[in-house]
Structure 1
Amino acid sequence: MKAAKKLPWIILAILALAAFLRLYNLGNESLWLDEAVNVLLCKEGPGSVIDVCVDDGVHPPFYFLLLNLWILIFGQSEVAIRLLSALLGIIAVFLTYKVGCEVFNRRVGLIASLFLAISSFAVYYSQEVLPYSMLLVLTLLSFILFLRVLRAEKPQKTHFLFYALVNVLLCYTHLFGVFTVGAQVLYYLFYRRRYAKARRVFWGTQAVTLAFFSPWIYVLVTNGILGDTAGGLAWIPEPSFSVINSITRALTGAGFIEKAWGAFLMWFFLSLCLAGVFYFPKALQWRGSGEEVQNTGKPPLASLFAGPMIVLVLLWLLFPFFLSLILSFAYKPMMVDRYLIGVIPALCLLAACGIENVASFIGVGGLRAKVTAVMLIAIVAAVSLVGLHSYYVDYHKLDWRAATAFIEQDAQPGDAIVFYPDYEHWPFDYYYEGEHELAVISYKEILEDEGAAAVNERLWLVQLPASANRDINVQRELYYRFGDEALIRRGIFEPLVVYLFDI
């Protein structure tokens, strides 16, 4: 009874930690490209949001419609617009606890929720104006409702309605939500006899989900990843060992940790997950007596594997991962770490099960088991804190706020501005509140005689450093054309550089 009374306080402490990590420095960094695009597009209204999403054909509109409503209510400051993702990230930690309780027990739920709370990857996307915290929350809700549908003694309309609603919203939040639904369908097919009572509700839900998602399937066929363009996926590299390793590091919370410590956390976490797949207390029984093996007729190795709930969590983890990998090789690259954010709770649950299993192997219910569990949790937490420190201290987005202020204080009527690359104008558009409107010119035009002739006298250049897809040094080209003396001002906001030319 005492332990049961303490549990709510523990989850409250974990939620407080999750809230602190997700709200800390929430508005400290400038918006980067994708965030600025989302905010400025959502300001245009629901109709424009849907039009842009349909034209893009890759990103479904639900999150952006919600963001449009959020901006209308709370405004568009960095803190206000990022607060939506932060709150969703905190909710995801609580839902991970609930899933752990539903699938295993409270201890597993608590450990898994702690791991999600301190995951630098989850914290990062809880501080971005992007749909991934929403994807995480809806994935967790979908699995909770899926389990309740399967376990209900009698079919219930509320389970049917909420499960169908969540799955529709999940699919309209991100296309990888479809993979989550696919994992659930696969699990039900494996255990359809066990859950025969849920047959009508389960398949009815899938039919409703398919019916409501069918308009977007049409968009996918015509404009999206099933069509000929799929421009929204063109930037994704083909999977390689380094790409898969980078994705795995990120999902295990090691993405912000350099070198050996990052590799250590990744492999340690994966080892705990592997330990979670096996049920060690059974192995202890077999050590004491071979009688159970003879009675069941099962070989020891087969009996070591845990039951249906572990299979469910494995499908939750592996189905989206390997399906995206297969499709990336067979069709178009689409494997990105943030697209797979929905599998992180499955990793946390398996790692929590692994800690329970290793601890029970050391000593069932005794002091040694508790000490072992605490030590394993402490190792994960300590190395994860290194990643969080690196994220808060060492990682910085482009300082568009300062760069834009630099331009505002010296902008004059008739000034023109060039961005390299061209699409980086979005963060500037979000921050610029200057008195004078600047004429935006493409960098391709400015490098031609006609484009240069269109400039009155002064030209601002905002340039990002060269990379694999940015191989033109516009500043150097302008030096060649107009001479070094044309440069009258420069502002460095690493790695962003702003130049002012008098031409």
Structure 2
Amino acid sequence: MGKMTSRLGSTILTGILREPVQLLYVLGITLVAGILRFYLIGEKSIWLDESFSLWIARQDLWEGWRWLIEVDQHPPLYYSLLHLWIGLFGSLEGAVRTLSALASVLTIPVFYAGCRRLLDPATAGIAVFILAVSPFHVQFAQETRMYALLTLEVACVIYFLARLMTARVAQGRDWVGLAVSQALVMLTHNTAAVYLPVALNGAAVLIYLLFPTGVGGAEKWGQEGGKAGAGDDDGSPDSSPGAGVSGQGSEERQSPNYASVEAFWKNWGRFQGLAVQLWLPWSVPFIIQVLDVGSGFWLPPPWPNLVLDTFRNFHFAFLPSDLPVRPVLMWGYSFLAVLGLSGLLFGLNSPSREWRRNRSEGQADGRELSHGRTVSLDRDRAALLVLSLFLVPHVVALLVSVRSPIYAERPLIWTTLPYFVLVSAGIRVIGGPLRRGVLGILALRRRPNLAGLVSALRLGAMLLILAAILGLSSLSLNGYFFWFQKEAWDEAASHIAERVGPGEMIVFNATWVQIPFEYYYERYELDTILKGLPVDLFDRGELEPTMEEADIPRIQEILEGRDRVWLVYSHNWYSDPRGIIPRELGRIFGESEITDFEGLQIILFSGR
């Protein structure tokens, strides 16, 4: 007993000594992520989608929700938070984008904690490094949209899921945390309200069918514990990847601290039901919005190029197109993800024995205690879970898009979290087992034999890959910060404000492009008439009504008696695909002057 106590105290002390190193690493990566996400955050113009978020958020809460049901396809959570945020910090570009930036920064430590429990600190450290420098995530951290918040919520789902699936005794607060996080996801984006539950429960069904004795340690510690221990040849806890602690003695193996498998899956069903109940108040508006999308939506069909572009952006958005061997560089992530999945399934990237011996945990504060080791999810189960969270949403989106195109990269941004886990696992396969957790990648193992040389080469290859990721991400971020331009509504508003005369009219080819223009134009405090074509803003209860030949009389009606009119022309490929508006204005007026801006045109018609 004294020997056991001494060993237990030693392993806890080792864990305590290592925790500050991991903490410093996560804090450092979080700081880097924060710098990237707040850098020049207010410089780029608000574009169409962002301006709609602001328009909804600046309404009264109930009025904003009514407009969401009538003209939009999203649930209310993000808009409600943005409404409160604007009340506190105002509606300037940098202020409103800060909400997304904060959510994106907070994702880093939450994602690390979840990934660490599912796999190991080294894989988690690589995953959050990739996430921190991801140009795709930096872009949406600087947008007044719900995608950064959605990613944070999914990171919370992964964290609570990891705690539940690696716990000796599943804590009630973790079940509640999973249900609440899942409900928040469902109240943030309507596609995620389908994709995430399908992915989670698909993984749960597979794990239940393939591993009926438990999700992880319960297979070795629960009712089948004696059987598992008897099957070990050497009785060593390191005899197989993720082997837990079998072989410790039948009394320990049959410890009552593990919840039964049956109880776990009953709780799974109950708390999935709780998540649905929390989301249920939005169910009727959800159905209304789904029917509206089914009747017509602006997204193109998911041709192969669209899917490929999605993954190119997941990898290195804004990477210069003239970069040598760009296709090879762009698809390196996919190779690493496949390698990582293979590593998880076949144990190619399991932690070293020294690391497994020294993984620590604390039962008293909700973390498990198992002779100084943190019980992690067995890697075959982790592979199923991560693969389902990544792959199922894309498959579902593609299947639905056969009927109504909804496949798009932005709503699928959260699937990059499990994707980056697979990529990190692939990098770990190349690097081999690590001895010292997160900083183990920096500890070169010196062995005066062939094994030592191979180990050093593998470690060097892993460091080279990480350096390449950092270099390519830096090039991509340079492209985003200094070359990528959003729609220049600020410049367009300034252009007209400086030249518009008293009583002149500004017309818009798509009713909702009036929103970003007006966001900037209202700063000039000019009394100018604003009109939409084919109708004024949302008069038809549609977000993007299409201009038809039958709408031509309205043009003649609103322009009667006017000698000059300004046309703001943007997103015409959808709202005016036949160019009816400029054609008819050209017939009415003799002269036109076109000024091009990023993403739109300003056309001055005169000389009637």
Q: Do the structures match in fold with TM over 0.5?
A: yes
1:13 aligns with 2:28: yes
1:60-209 alignment to 2 at 5 Å?
60-178=75-193, 179-192=195-208, 193=212, 194-195=214-215, 196=261, 197-209=263-275
Q: Would you say how many aligned residue pairs link Structure 1 and Structure 2?
A: 477
SS in 1 for 2:568: strand
Contact 1:278-1:306 within 8 A present in 2 as well: no
**Aligned match for 2:315, one of 238, 248, 252:** 252
Contact 1:30-1:400 within 8 A present in 2 as well: yes
Structure 1: segments with no counterpart, 5+ residues: 286-304
Moved more, 433-442 or 161-170: 433-442
The aligned residue for residue 224 of structure 1 is: 289
C-alpha distance in structure 2 between counterparts of 1:79 and 1:354, whole Å: 37
SS in 1 for 2:411: helix
Quickly say closer, same or farther: Cα 1:155–1:107, change in 2 above 3 A. closer
Displacement, 1:256? 4.5
Contact 2:114-2:160 within 8 A present in 1 as well: no
Displacement, 1:380? 1.9
Contact 2:514-2:532 within 8 A present in 1 as well: no
- TM-score by length of structure 1 reads 0.87
Q: Match for 2:425: what amino acid?
A: C
Displacement, 1:372? 1.7
Displacement, 1:267? 1.5
Displacement, 1:121? 1.1
SS in 2 for 1:498: strand
| 1:442-469: CA deviation from partner (whole Å, max 9, x where unpaired) | 4457776733643544322222386466
Quickly say closer, same or farther: Cα 1:173–1:494, change in 2 above 3 A. closer
Structure 2: segments with no counterpart, 5+ residues: 1-13, 216-260, 351-377, 434-449, 535-550
Moved more, 275-284 or 136-145: 275-284
Contact 2:349-2:428 within 8 A present in 1 as well: no
The aligned residue for residue 414 of structure 1 is: 503
Quickly say closer, same or farther: Cα 1:481–1:363, change in 2 above 3 A. farther
Contact 1:275-1:357 within 8 A present in 2 as well: yes
C-alpha distance in structure 2 between counterparts of 1:87 and 1:356, whole Å: 29
SS in 2 for 1:339: coil
SS in 2 for 1:398: coil
C-alpha distance in structure 2 between counterparts of 1:206 and 1:233, whole Å: 31
The percentage of counterpart residues that share the same residue type is 24
1:375 aligns with 2:438: no
The aligned residue for residue 274 of structure 1 is: 338
| 1:93-150: CA deviation from partner (whole Å, max 9, x where unpaired) | 2222222211111111111111111111111111111110111010110111122223
Moved more, 319-328 or 469-478: 469-478
C-alpha distance in structure 2 between counterparts of 1:150 and 1:116, whole Å: 24
C-alpha distance in structure 2 between counterparts of 1:189 and 1:284, whole Å: 25
Q: Match for 2:157: what amino acid?
A: S
Contact 1:249-1:255 within 8 A present in 2 as well: no
Contact 1:252-1:344 within 8 A present in 2 as well: no
The aligned residue for residue 327 of structure 2 is: 263
1:20-35 alignment to 2 at 5 Å?
20-35=35-50
Quickly say closer, same or farther: Cα 1:454–1:481, change in 2 above 3 A. closer
Compare CA radii of gyration and give the structure with the larger one: 2
1:445-484 alignment to 2 at 5 Å?
450-451=556-557, 453-464=559-570, 467=573, 470-472=577-579, 474-475=581-582, 477-484=584-591
1:347 aligns with 2:419: yes
1:316 aligns with 2:382: no
SS in 2 for 1:191: helix
Q: Match for 1:343: what amino acid?
A: T
1:500 aligns with 2:516: no
C-alpha distance in structure 1 between counterparts of 2:201 and 2:556, whole Å: 59
SS in 1 for 2:408: coil
Contact 1:120-1:256 within 8 A present in 2 as well: no
- Judging by fraction of residues, say which structure has more helix: 1
Displacement, 1:360? 1.4
Q: How large is the Cα RMSD of the aligned pairs?
A: 2.8
- TM-score by length of structure 2 reads 0.72
Displacement, 1:402? 1.8
SS in 2 for 1:418: strand
